[in-house]
Structure 1
């Protein structure tokens, strides 16, 4: 393959939450561009199935870890780098969303949302960044959310965590500017993933709407009148990973059909 068709040839990309949804789509897009890819996640069976599905598309492996646990992350990165070398493209995609009124949001829910969505991103960047700085080349791509750009009712903990991810993105970008590493965030709107399927189930349970009505309600937030597809988010992530995207730095790019313009 030519460098033009495989611009990430020889690069090691690690995708957290890589076994399904946006993470799986990101892995596929990065493999198509020549990267070798490590999938990181908590569910061993799901990781094994994802590796099976991606086999034949490029070099792919999986490591099991809980991104909220620093020691678990460090061990997983060591295993990943033993297989494919230092991580040069980090896609922080692992995340969870739980819906609850603010007055019913207890400390356990608050801490859980920050642990997975924000602290997990922190742990993974800390594990990957030294190698990137030593090589003077790297890409940190944080999958945040439109919830990091605007507010949503009933998900205050999730919104706070995703706003934190964008703040972290911008701050770190200033620290590493000029060192060959770029740091950016991609902010999907409502996307066809397990999180949205859970949101649909929650709406159905609380309102009596049908599943189709609940999906349509979520899609209304998008001026295009539809849910974003994981592959669309993955294309934005893969573009940010390219050598040609070196001047895109410290950005929070919405992939939402125009939602944040009307939010």
Structure 2
């Protein structure tokens, strides 16, 4: 590969939640830039299909299971060498008014959206700092930069992810490792499509009206494309970004500053 298509040539990138949506777009983008990509997901079939298409490696694991994620890292390193780039993308949002938000809901949201990021960073950072180069990018959300109603646990977890990002960036500032977060607004994925369907079902409105509620938050009047998020992640992992660390970059059409 030559030119911009090989800007990540020789690097091993591990992407969690890589079976669909933003994670799949990131895996494709990093592979197109020359990286050796390990796709981690809870369900084997989607990541295996995508891995075959992009020449990557699929490892099924539940990121909320610390031992399982450690095994996934070990398998990835056996096949592709040390992890140079970690993309913490796995996540989901369960909605409920706060008065109905029970402890199991709270624990599930923090385990998936925050604690799994802690675990991934703990697994990746020692070898990155020893080698003097690494990139950690966490897919957070505009929910980490502002509040949204009915997803309090998700909002809290994403705020925590951004705090963790900023703390790790300072701790690793002289190590050659950068730590950043990307914060998409509502994005055109199956996850958001499901949210639109639930809004329509609960409110009795049409799907188009429910979708309009979400796109209204974006000053551009649209959903973000997964590829736009992937481009931002790939940029942060590429050359010339050594001074970019501790950032929470919104990809949201101007929704937040």
Q: Name the TM-score class by shorter chain.
A: over 0.9
Output aligned runs, 1:92-171, within 5 Å. Answer: 92-171=88-167
SS at match of 1:184: strand
Matches within 5 A, 1:208-227: 208-227=204-223
- Asked if 1:91 is matched to 2:87, the reply is yes
Deviation at 1:4, TM superposition (A): 4.5
CA distance in 1, matches of 2:192, 2:16: 18
Q: Tell me, yes or no, if the aligned pair for 1:114 and 1:161 is still in contact at 8 Å.
A: yes
Would you say 1:40 and 2:36 are equivalent positions?
no
1:202 Cα deviation after fit: 1.5
Q: In the alignment, is the contact (CA less than 8 A) between 1:19 and 1:39 conserved in 2?
A: yes
Tell me the residue number matched to 1:53. 53
5+ residue gaps, structure 1, are none
**Preserved CA contact (<8 Å) 1:173 1:250:** yes
Given that 2:4 and 2:33 are in contact with CA atoms closer than 8 Å, whether structure 1 keeps it comes out as: no
CA drift of 1:256 comes to 0.1
Q: Distance in 2 between matches of 1:108 and 1:49?
A: 33
- Which residues of structure 2 form unaligned runs of 5+? none
Where 1:40 maps in the other structure, the secondary structure is: strand
2:224 maps to 1:243: no
Match of 1:8 in 2: 8
Q: Deviations over 1:173-203 (max 9, x none)?
A: 0000010000000000000112211210220
Indicate whether 1:67 and 2:31 are aligned: no
Change (3 A) 1:66 1:6: same
Q: Secondary structure at the match of 1:122?
A: helix
* Partners of 1:48 and 1:5 in 2: CA distance: 23
The 4+ residue runs of structure 1 with deviation greater than 6 A are none
| Matching residue within 255, 260, 263 for 2:256 | 260
* TM-fit CA distance, 1:134: 1.0
CA RMSD of aligned residues (A): 1.0
Report how many residues are paired. Answer: 257
**DSSP-derived class of the 2:240 partner:** helix
TM-aligned CA deviation for residue 5 of structure 1: 3.6
Matched residue, 1:194: 190
Relative to the length of structure 1, the TM-score reads 0.96
Does the 8 Å CA contact 1:12/1:87 hold for their aligned counterparts?
Answer: yes
Equivalent position SS for 2:14: strand
Q: Secondary structure at the match of 1:113?
A: helix
Compared CA separation, residues 11 and 164, structure 1 to 2 (3 A): same
**Deviation of the 1:208 alpha carbon:** 0.8
Tell me which residue corresponds to 1:229. 225
- TM-score, normalization by structure 2: 0.98
Residue 30 of structure 1: aligned partner: 30
> More displaced, 92-101 or 204-213?
204-213
